[in-house]
Amino acid sequence: MQTPKKDDNAVSGSLWLLVVLAAMGGFLDSYDLISVGAATFIAKSFHQLVVTPSDIALANSAAFVGAILASLLAGRYSDAAGRRVLFVLDLLLFVVVAPLQALVSNVQELIFLRLLIGVAIGIDLPVAWTLICETAPTGKRGRLVSMMFTFWALGGLASFLVALALLPLGAIAWRLLLASGAVPAIIVLVLRRGVPESPRWLQAQGRHDEAARAASSLGLSAQPEARPSRDGGDLGYGALFTRYWRLALFEGTFMFVFAATGLLLSIYPAQIFAKLGLTGFHNSLYVGALSWVLILLGMVTCALIVDKVGRRPLSYLGSLGAALLLWVLSRTSPSDFPLFLGAFCAFAYVSVLGAWGPAWVYQSEIFPTRLRATGAGYAGAMNRIGAAVAAFGVPVFLSAFGFQRLLDVFIVANVVLFVVLLSFGFETRGMSLEQIEDMVQSRNPAAG
């Protein structure tokens, strides 16, 4: 192991660029997710697409479905063949498919293209998070991983602003909105071509000279320690669900519940505020923009404090805080506007700060190097399954059982999440990935 030159926690300009290029995958994900809802509404308003509520649900869910299988396969491939190849090629699929959305003549064509975009995003996210985690300095790993979700929040907010800006253009606005995501994707694709392979992955493969060059190109002050894997070669989902089943249960539950709950903020805030009489497309955009501002504030706060406070305390705050604030929201009369608005804003901020951020930080660092992208792919798939279930389930359940019963389901889910976090969670703040791996081995004897 090389002697640190200066500050082991220093972040070079080239490493910051890598973080931004990785985080742009999250930006494109949320930008695309939000733009399809606005675009279908505009297209329907101008009678250019026949769109039913079930069509909108399918369009929202198609990208989630495509991402589920892609996340599982991409994580496994990345552990076997490296991070860089998929990190570059997945955006090529996004760049090709996104503009094609502007040419659709019916909603069925749009749903098919949404499925392909989901594949591109499903490939990108686990690989991008793994790459950031494996190159980030120990003392700033939580902050840099959280940066990716900060960009996710920026993408959703940007989509609302672009939709508002394009509305005056009339019937063509929805096509331009759907195609617009290709513009930042092209720029990021070009810049990603210069990204090196993960030094940690190269070390684990015994390619020490290449690891040294990759670390140098990123301005890393110290190399990770090269040591043989305790697991004896490549790992896969068999190892994840046997030797590391505690990690799979912990992170899978975390991802599923926070993703399902998160749709109340990212896709369905308009349905919540409809109880206040705020209906209509413009009001929906304004409410959505407010929600994404709160998401952004929560993620920025998480990025600033997660390496100081720790992952575990924030995760407790996120699960219990979300349950409590949802209870207040569900029992508050819509006529009490200040309390209703305050409960929603507090719920949005606390759940993002304490659930969204820690969940993504955990999933990138708790799995051993030879299983890290596989674990991240599994976590990403559980995230998309939770989102897909909520995308279909929320409007159906809301119509059948009402607002209070809908929120009761999410209250129970977050209480269950807290129990899982309490039983299987652990703190990783200030620990190197090698130290985390040692701790995981000691807590999971079957993994040794």
| Per-residue pLDDT, 225 | 57
Say if CB 200 and CB 78 are below 8 A apart: no
Using CA atoms, how far apart are residues 1 and 222, in angstroms rounded to an integer? Answer: 7
Q: 343: helix, coil or strand?
A: helix
Q: What is the pLDDT of residue 190?
A: 93
Place of tokens 């706060």: 301
Q: Give the per-residue pLDDT at 160.
A: 82
Per residue, the 3-state secondary structure of 372-408, as one string, reads HHHHHHHHHHHHHHHHHHHHHHHHHHHHHHCHHHHHH
Q: What is the pLDDT of residue 272?
A: 72
Residues in the chain: 448
Q: Report CA-CA distances (Å) from 278 to 41, 89, 180, 266, 269.
A: 17, 43, 28, 17, 11
Whole-model pTM? Answer: 0.85
Q: What is the pLDDT of residue 316?
A: 96
Question: What is the spatial distance between Cα 413 and Cα 283, in angstroms, rounded to a whole number?
Answer: 29
Best CA proximity match to 419, nearest among 268, 298, 316: 316
Looking at residue 275, its pLDDT comes to 64
pLDDT for residue 46: 80
Q: What is the pLDDT of residues 182-194, one digit of tens each?
A: 999 999 999 999 8
Residues of the chain with pLDDT under 70: 1-8, 50-51, 53, 221-235, 270-271, 274-285, 444-448
SS (H, E, C) 62-83: HHHHHHHHHHHHHHHHHHHHCC
Cβ atoms of 146 and 302 closer than 8 Å: yes
Per-residue pLDDT at 445: 60
* 312, two tokens: 């575990």
Residue 1: what pLDDT?
38
Structural domains for the chain: 13-195+227-447 (1.20.1250.20)
What is the predicted pLDDT for the residue at 229? 52
pLDDT (0 to 100) of residue 92: 92
